[in-house]
Structure 1
Amino acid sequence: MTHLVLIKRAIVLSLILSTSVFYAQPEIPGKTWKKVEQLSDEFDGKKIDNKKWNIDPEGHYELNWIGRSPALFQKESFDIRNGYLTIEVGKLKKPYVEDKKYSKPMVYKYHGGILRSYKKTSIGHYYECRMKMNKTEMGGGFWLCHQGTCENKHEIDITESVGQLTEATHKWAYDWDQIMHSNAIHRETSCNKPVRDQKKMMPPTKNSERFYTYGFYWKSPTELLFYLDGQYVYTLNPPVPFDQELILQFSIEAYDWNPIPEIGSKVATASKEDRTTYIDYIRVYKLKDK
């Protein structure tokens, strides 16, 4: 590789990674915000803090989902580079077949990753993540869930998107490469049917073109407020009271509504930079009396 090529790649990377921008948390009369260190990370070290985060898809004390076929969660997809947590997607050297965990064998051809907190969290917190999506057919985002019970199994998606759409993308997902989409889901179990509230908005650019800061204020069991780059964008009202303790997560995965092409996919052919999602920071604050 020539010196000129290395310089060009360095220039491209410097354009991709921009200086951190800080946005104030929502102002609450008579209250102040205190950072929860066990749920916050600037990713300035050399290694992922394994006292805060679990990146082994089967190594968490409560959650052990290994990813939606055909993309396997694996810890090897993670790295810390230049003060950013990175999740690289790509094609596995050989397919992996999981034939024990699920009702039918699942075939995995690609890889992504999932990061989960050890500490749980609930009402009265503000969550934010500054990130830039990869430029492939895979995607994901910043969310909370838990194992739950038959009666109460909750999920809050702060934001989710993908990096690249294709001709096979389902028609309803026409804008998922340029979107902030949030969910409050009462998950399906044998005790209840799935119900949700969801909203979306369109950011100025595609999610893979620049960093965005996604925020969420868990105001009450029935009021979930969402923010983009420090600005309020919408409120979700969960179909049932969301008052459970949840686990904070960040994942990059495959979606069946945005299938990865068998030939010529960005997941398999794009450069490492384009196959990488960058997370500048994750911060969580707890509401306190002044």
Structure 2
Amino acid sequence: MRKTVLYLSAASLLLSSYTLKNDKEYSLAEEHIKNLPEAPEGYKWVVNEDYTDEFNGKRLNAAKWHAKSPYWTNGRPPATFKAENVSVKKGCLRIINTVLSPTEGLDGKPGDKYRLAGGAVASVKNQAHYGYYETRMKASLTTMSSTFWLSNRPVMKEIMKGGKKIKTWSSQELDIIETMGIIRSVNPDNPWNKTWNMQMNSNTHYWYQEQGGKRTDNTAKRSDVVSYMTDPSAEDFHTYGCWWVDANTVKFYYDGKYMYTIKPTTKYTDTPFDRPMFIHIVTETYDWEKQVPTAEDLKDKDKSTTYYDWVRAYKLVPIEE
């Protein structure tokens, strides 16, 4: 009986400690609500715990995050994704970019398709829907990306076209921030990416494919623009967020300040962004940046790491009278 009491006391203490830690993390996210856009009349913001994490533990919370995305298992060459490049330390989620030796093929098999590695963390749950999503992040000082975005997998629908019933596939992607700490490849005739590390690079993609046809990427222009410009993304931590208002409207914010709105294309449907998504936190290589990091570039682990201080999510609920 005495041992049982002792075991119960120890278990209660552990549970109490865990609860206090969770309460503390929840309170930080709740306190942050004051920095969000004003909620519509009759509603209030509440923390969406499924996608909120302060990263204050010693390892990635496996109940919330996959250390390697099951949705996107191989990266864009020459960089793939490795779970071992992901860690949690000193209050940050960290994704380090490294050189692969030896090189690899798809799924870690022998080959020379990949010679670098980043990371792709993904949320376990895939029901992130309308609400506010934000991260506090410091990009790596490399030509590999530092990103935070939402996406879902294609679904099939049947529609009538030309008097015939055809199958169509569609999916969504909501890029809250895509950046790199250093830009080296700038086309003098088309210098669109010259200041890419000092801009709020956000986008919406509506992927569409008809049976027997090609998959097309439909993006949308930004409207109501206040500014595109930000501080350099690798110099310090900054917050990047979006308010996914509804199926037709996404508003973007930098350090709590409104930047612009994107309205996804309605070319194929009146409600293009109506399906829930999962979250991706990724470092990768882009095909337009030809000067990818070298072994010398990646020697400094601090410079080759992207740091995520926290990820926070919120949803609107009616105010009870």
TM class by shorter chain equals 0.7 to 0.9
- State the 1:259 CA deviation: 2.1
| Residues 281 and 99 (structure 1), Cα distance of their counterparts in 2 relative to 1, 3 Å cut | closer
Name the % identity. Answer: 31
In structure 2, list runs of 5 or more residues that go unmatched.
Answer: 1-28, 156-167, 267-271
TM-score by length of 1: 0.83
Q: Corresponding residue for 1:4?
A: none
1:60-81 deviation digits (Å, cap 9, x = unpaired)? 2xx1331110001110111112
Letter in 1 for 2:229: M
| Residues 264 and 114 (structure 1), Cα distance of their counterparts in 2 relative to 1, 3 Å cut | closer
User: Would the aligned equivalents of 1:41 and 1:282 in 2 still touch at CA under 8 Å?
Assistant: yes
User: Would the aligned equivalents of 1:180 and 1:201 in 2 still touch at CA under 8 Å?
Assistant: yes
Q: CA RMSD in A?
A: 2.5
User: Would the aligned equivalents of 1:173 and 1:257 in 2 still touch at CA under 8 Å?
Assistant: no
In structure 1, list runs of 5 or more residues that go unmatched.
Answer: 1-19
- State the 1:265 CA deviation: 6.0
Letter in 2 for 1:26: P
- State the 1:168 CA deviation: 5.9
Pairing 1:27–2:12 present? no
- The 5 Å alignment of 1:112-191 reads 112-149=118-155, 150-167=168-185, 171-191=191-211
What is the alpha-carbon distance in structure 2 between the residues aligned to residue 256 and residue 166 of structure 1? Answer: 13
1:187-234 deviation digits (Å, cap 9, x = unpaired)? 25355532111447110x210011110111111111101111111111
Q: Corresponding residue for 1:10?
A: none
Pairing 1:289–2:280 present? no
Pairing 1:196–2:219 present? yes
Match of 1:78 among 74, 86, 92: 86
Letter in 2 for 1:27: E
User: Would the aligned equivalents of 1:117 and 1:247 in 2 still touch at CA under 8 Å?
Assistant: yes
Match of 2:66 among 33, 54, 72: 54
What is the alpha-carbon distance in structure 2 between the residues aligned to residue 66 and residue 218 of structure 1? Answer: 28
What is the alpha-carbon distance in structure 2 between the residues aligned to residue 76 and residue 278 of structure 1? Answer: 15
| Residues 144 and 198 (structure 1), Cα distance of their counterparts in 2 relative to 1, 3 Å cut | farther
Pairing 1:255–2:286 present? yes
What is the alpha-carbon distance in structure 1 between the residues aligned to residue 46 and residue 171 of structure 2? Answer: 28
What is the alpha-carbon distance in structure 2 between the residues aligned to residue 107 and residue 177 of structure 1? Answer: 27
Paired residues in the alignment total: 261
Letter in 1 for 2:172: H
Greater Cα radius of gyration, structure 1 or 2: 2
Structure ranking higher in helix proportion? 2
Match of 2:307 among 256, 278, 284: 278
What is the alpha-carbon distance in structure 1 between the residues aligned to residue 108 and residue 67 of structure 2? Answer: 21
| Residues 262 and 274 (structure 1), Cα distance of their counterparts in 2 relative to 1, 3 Å cut | closer
1:82-115 deviation digits (Å, cap 9, x = unpaired)? 10110000211211022899xxx87100110011
- The 5 Å alignment of 1:210-289 reads 210-240=236-266, 241-261=272-292, 266=297, 268-269=298-299, 271-289=300-318
What is the alpha-carbon distance in structure 1 between the residues aligned to residue 137 and residue 120 of structure 2? Answer: 15
User: Would the aligned equivalents of 1:184 and 1:236 in 2 still touch at CA under 8 Å?
Assistant: yes
What is the alpha-carbon distance in structure 2 between the residues aligned to residue 141 and residue 288 of structure 1? Answer: 28
What is the alpha-carbon distance in structure 2 between the residues aligned to residue 66 and residue 85 of structure 1? Answer: 21
Q: Corresponding residue for 1:12?
A: none
Letter in 2 for 1:278: Y
User: Would the aligned equivalents of 1:54 and 1:118 in 2 still touch at CA under 8 Å?
Assistant: yes
Runs of 4+ aligned residues of structure 1 deviating over 3 Å after TM superposition are: 20-23, 167-171, 188-192, 260-265
- Helix, strand or coil for the counterpart of 1:152? strand
What is the alpha-carbon distance in structure 2 between the residues aligned to residue 128 and residue 168 of structure 1? Answer: 29
- Helix, strand or coil for the counterpart of 2:137? strand
What is the alpha-carbon distance in structure 2 between the residues aligned to residue 230 and residue 51 of structure 1? Answer: 28
What is the alpha-carbon distance in structure 1 between the residues aligned to residue 128 and residue 100 of structure 2? Answer: 36
- Helix, strand or coil for the counterpart of 1:273? coil
What is the alpha-carbon distance in structure 1 between the residues aligned to residue 232 and residue 96 of structure 2? Answer: 19
Letter in 2 for 1:173: N
What is the alpha-carbon distance in structure 2 between the residues aligned to residue 120 and residue 263 of structure 1? Answer: 35
